[in-house]
Every structure is written in structure tokens, then in C-alpha cells.
Amino acid sequence: MSGLALPLTLNAGQSATFTVLFNPATSGTASGSVSITSNGANSNLSISLSGTGITAGTLSANPTSLAFGSVQVGNSTNLSETLTNTGGSTVTLSQANLTGAVFSISGLTLPLTLTASQSVTFTASFAPAKSGAVSGSLSVVSDASNSPLTIALSGTGTSAGQLTVSPSSLSFGNVAVASSASLSGSLSASGASVTITSGSLSNSEFALSGLSLPVTLAAGQSTPFTVTFAPMASGATSASLSFSSNAGNSPAVQSMTGTGTAPTQHTVNVTWNSSTNAVGYNVYRSTASGGPYAMINSSLDGATAYSDTAVDSGQTYYYVATAVDDNSNESAYSMETQAVVP
């Protein structure tokens, strides 16, 4: 109690003001009274007092420290951190100070007030710039009883892995236009694991296959891939295949060359013996032995030979012929002959 100097005389209608301070030493309810003795008619004036003591606001961290472990240079790792007000009164967070340039936080907007038992969760990140162990701290300033609250931070930067593409170049040689040729390659990681995110070719006549991206290779691990060259025009051409990754030597590049050549035009020449009373012949073709056959001459052939120019490279064809008399009667199929186009 303060602000009341005694003895004090009050004239009729006069007042005096004083202050009563409640300063609890422990948590829980408390009661008391102010008793004023005077020569007034109510010589013992009693004023009852009551209040409840609550624990001061206190911040706790979970976890109490953040260990990021080993992180490859050029990568980053995130960990969650939770701050809780474990006291009975509200706590206002005003600052979050970091030491260690490779550490950062996100998701914590200040100032922030936490009521009793309220929590806030945010993210801490470690992004090493070079190899070696690193330590730092996060200091949270507030009006809590234990301000500032310090959270230790630690992590180790490891060297970035290396990505090797083998062979370093591919030579497809001569490939006919409208056909294709394929060559194999492989990717290998060394030093540390490598995550390959993309592979891009600079020329649409080349295509990458056999590799599903993104893919992570452990140190010493390899994975195969295939490049296909399908020239769309005659002439020499080249391309580069770039693999992007988190390796220290990204991008890893493979060069390639190829020459498109005009497609070879093949002809199958078919001959047969003449037939008595025949005025002409029909020629039939199939891609399967024994047929079914389709007639390939547009009109009755008066000779005993036919040149088939509508054939594809690498295909096998089966031919038969029939004889037609002057009454348009057509014979059965001749014996079948086979032609293998190179």
C-alpha cells in the first residue's frame, strides 16, 4: 500500500486516494484486507483484497537444438522448430536473431503474441556454401521470463558429387533419312550422391530414352541411357546432350554427330515362265508366306516379268503370279517366291 500519508485529516466532503499493489510470490489465489482506523463513526473501515498469482510467461523450444547433419554443398535441408509458451501469462516475441550465414528461418512473423500453452512452428534451413562443420544459433527475444531463448544450430557441408557421362561423344555415322540408329551411354556419380533433374538435346533429330528423370545416383552408381538419331534431311549434323544436376560439374555434356543420307531405293524384279493360251499375267504380293496376297500390277501384264519398286528396306515379300486367257479366266496362283530387301 502506498500514497497515503498518515495521520491524515479529511474535512467534510474531502477525499484521499491511495494505491494497493498485488505482488504474488507463488501461483494461486490470495486474499487480504486494508483496515483503516479513524475517529469516524465507522472507525474500523475494512477493504477486502483478492487476486490470483499466475506463473510468468516462459518460452520452451522443441527440439532444444537443431542438428542438420551432412548436407551437400549447393543443396539445402529444412527442419521444423516449435516454440511454446509454457507459462501462465502471454508472451510477445519481438526478435529472432541468427548467427551463421548458412542458416535461415521462414514462417515466423514477428512481433508475435503467444497466450498460455500456445505454440508456433516455423522452419529452419541449412544451405552450406563450402565443405566443413558449421555452427550457429537462433536467439529469440521476448518478454518471457527466460528471454532470450537460444537454440543451437549445427551442420556439416560436404563436397558436391561429380557426374560423368560416358562416352563423351557419340558418332552415328551415315543413317538413311526416314530411318534411325541408336547408341548407348551411361551416367556415373562419384564423390557423393548426385540428383539428375533433366536431360536436354539441342537438335530435334536426336532423342533421349531409357532414363526416367529426376533420378538420384549414389556415389559409384551408374545408369544407362539411349540416344536415337533419326535424320529428317540429308547432310551432316551435330548436337549436344546436357544433363542438369546438383553435381559440382553441372551440366554434364555429351556431344554427338551423324550424317543423314538419301534413302536407298530398292526394286524387286520378278520373272516367271509363260503359260499356254495366256494373254497376260497378274502379280500378287504378301508380307507373309502363304498370303493373303494383294495384286500389285495396275493392268494386265503382257510380259513374263515385273519390277516392284514400292518396297521398303529390311522387309521380306512373297510373290505369286496368275495367267489370264482371252476369256478373262484367271489361273490359280503360281508357286510362291521370296524376296528379302536389304
Give the pLDDT confidence of 25-56 residue by residue, as tens digits. Answer: 887 899 999 999 999 999 999 999 999 888 78
Question: Where does 59-158 sit in CATH, by number?
Answer: 2.60.40.10
The residues, any chain, with a CB within 8 Å of residue 260's CB and separated by 6 or more, are 175, 176, 177, 205, 231, 232, 233, 234, 235, 236, 237
What pLDDT is recorded for position 313? 83
Tell me: the pLDDT tens digits for 197-245?
Answer: 999 999 999 999 999 999 999 999 999 999 999 999 999 999 999 999 9
What pLDDT is recorded for position 298? 93
Give the class (CATH, top level) of 268-340.
mainly beta
pTM value is 0.50
Q: How far is CA 225 from CA 98, 186, 222, 230, 237, in A?
A: 45, 6, 10, 17, 21
Tell me: the pLDDT tens digits for 162-193?
Answer: 999 999 999 999 998 888 999 999 999 998 88
Lowest-confidence region among 9-13, 129-133, 209-213? 129-133
Tell me: the pLDDT tens digits for 290-337?
Answer: 999 999 999 999 999 999 999 988 899 999 999 999 999 999 999 999
Span 162-261 CATH architecture: Sandwich (2.60)
The residues, any chain, with a CB within 8 Å of residue 263's CB and separated by 6 or more, are 176, 177, 178, 179, 313
Q: Are 123 and 78 in contact (CB under 8 A)?
A: yes
Mark 298-314 as b/e (b = at least 16 C-beta within 10 Å): eeebeeeebebeebeee
Q: Per-domain residue ranges for the chain?
A: 1-6+16-53, 59-158, 162-261, 268-340
What pLDDT is recorded for position 341? 93
Residues 27, 7: Cα–Cα separation, whole Å: 35
SS (H, E, C) 242-291: EEEECCCCCCEEEEEEEEEECCCCCCEEEECCCCCCCCEEEEEEECCCCC
At residue 246 the predicted structure's pLDDT band, cuts being 50, 70 and 90, is: confident
Residue 265 has pLDDT above 90, yes or no: no
Q: Are 304 and 297 in contact (CB under 8 A)?
A: no
The residues, any chain, with a CB within 8 Å of residue 30's CB and separated by 6 or more, are 22, 24, 50, 51, 52, 53
Residues 158, 246: Cα–Cα separation, whole Å: 13
Residues 220, 263: Cα–Cα separation, whole Å: 43
Q: How far is CA 223 from CA 72, 186, 211, 241, in A?
A: 21, 6, 8, 16
Q: What angle do CA 67, 68, 69 make, to 5 degrees?
A: 95
Q: What percent of the chain has pLDDT over 70?
A: 100
| Topology agreement, domain 162-261 and domain 268-340 | yes
